Amino acid sequence: MAADNVQRCNTCIIPNTCDLIPFEGETCVLCKTAQRTPRPAPVPVESERLLEERIEQIREKGKGKPYDCVVGASGGRDSTYLLYLLTQKHKLRCLAVYYRTPFTHDVVDSNIRRIVKELGADFEEIQLSQDYHSRIAKEMIMLWKKKKHRLIINLACAPCKLLNREMYKITRKHDVPTIVYGTNIYEAVQIAAGVSKKQVLVGDNSKVLNVQLKIKKLLMLVWNGTKLLFTTPALWKHLVLGVKSSVMYISPHTLYLALRYPGIKTVDYFYGVPWNEKDCDDTLNQLGWHRPPGANSSWKADCCFAEIKNVFSRKPLALLMPMLSLVI
């Protein structure tokens, strides 16, 4: 899309360079839908009371266990802030679980290892093959050069979906009843690779984990993935990985994981707590959390491949080659 044809939403200023986010007039569909389905903000006092009840439930279930909860720690801003709140504010005994991807910067890796130790949490690293992860990313980029389909480039990140399985395995190994995630409520509406324009909607957050919604998303992903298999035969050898990453482990809340690990409860901490951007920034500064050199934002700073995906749909391949050298 030519630069002079780029339009920005008059509410969130997101550009119309992604074909998954159509515009209604001068406003993107995400903002339009949010305007049509307003959700009253929780009363802070009530939110704090409910939060304390949830924390006490986690602490009660953790009695007699080696930890109160397992925490996913990517090294990014939200998970680092979450670990601080759980260990320092709520005084929970936490096991921080971390995986260094091939695209994790040394600065981010250093951040999380040092901060976990300073916060007094235990640390366990997920052991997945970085060589395998890099090879999958490279193969998907090569396929994308031939057929520029969003599902293909999204499969470059398929190995990361296996982390959802590994989190449950580690939690069960240590006999811990709860996993706490730092997913921000403002990430509840995600533009997944298998989603079409008509399916990009913002709904009631209480439905995010709804079984009916899970089934609909599952069927949609299976349908779109099956169509792609018949138009891109080279993907057949990645069929097992595709099923695992899009059906079994696409999120921590899949039906498969719920049935496979029935005794483990997952909690999205920031879904029930008003997000405090200033407190997050102040906390990260206090902890000495640093962005990698050249990162213009702390958003997704824990994975440099995220930026590659962001620009794939709007820049000529020649301009991407310096970035692709990270994986090719």
Predicted confidence pLDDT, tens digits, the chain (328 residues): 455 577 888 888 788 776 667 788 888 877 877 676 545 455 555 667 888 899 999 999 999 999 999 999 999 999 999 999 999 999 999 999 999 999 999 999 999 999 999 999 999 999 888 899 999 988 988 888 888 777 787 888 889 999 999 999 999 999 999 999 988 766 654 444 334 444 333 333 444 445 566 666 667 777 777 887 888 888 888 889 888 888 889 889 888 999 999 999 999 898 777 788 899 999 999 999 998 887 777 777 788 887 777 666 555 444 444 444 444 4
For position 60, what pLDDT does the model report? 95
My answer on whether 183 and 294 are in the same domain is yes
Supply the Cα-derived Rg of the chain in whole angstroms.
20
My answer on whether 173 and 59 are in the same domain is yes
- Does a structural domain hold residue 7? yes
> What is the layout of strands, in order, in the sheet containing 94-98?
122-125, 94-98, 69-72, 178-181, 265-268
- Does a structural domain hold residue 248? no
Q: Tens of pLDDT along 248-294?
A: 898 898 889 999 999 999 998 987 777 888 999 999 999 999 988 87
My answer on whether 300 and 165 are in the same domain is yes
- Does a structural domain hold residue 181? yes
Question: Computed from CA positions of residues 191, 19, 3, 315, in that sequence, does the dihedral angle turn out positive or negative?
Answer: positive
Expressed as residue numbers, the domain containing 82 is: 44-190+261-324
My answer on whether 24 and 83 are in the same domain is no
CA separation (Å) from 156 to 144, 169, 197, 234, 265? Answer: 10, 23, 22, 14, 29
My answer on whether 19 and 149 are in the same domain is no
- 72, burial (CB in 10 Å: exposed 0-12, middle 13-18, buried 19+): buried
CATH number at residue 171: 3.40.50.620
My answer on whether 26 and 48 are in the same domain is no
Cβ-Cβ contacts under 8 Å for 22 (sequence gap 6 or more): 16, 28, 29, 197, 200
- Does a structural domain hold residue 117? yes
My answer on whether 1 and 119 are in the same domain is no
The number of distinct structural domains making up the chain is: 2
My answer on whether 63 and 84 are in the same domain is yes
My answer on whether 159 and 305 are in the same domain is yes
- Does a structural domain hold residue 176? yes
- Does a structural domain hold residue 77? yes
- Does a structural domain hold residue 300? yes
My answer on whether 267 and 305 are in the same domain is yes
My answer on whether 32 and 151 are in the same domain is no
My answer on whether 33 and 177 are in the same domain is no
- Does a structural domain hold residue 12? yes
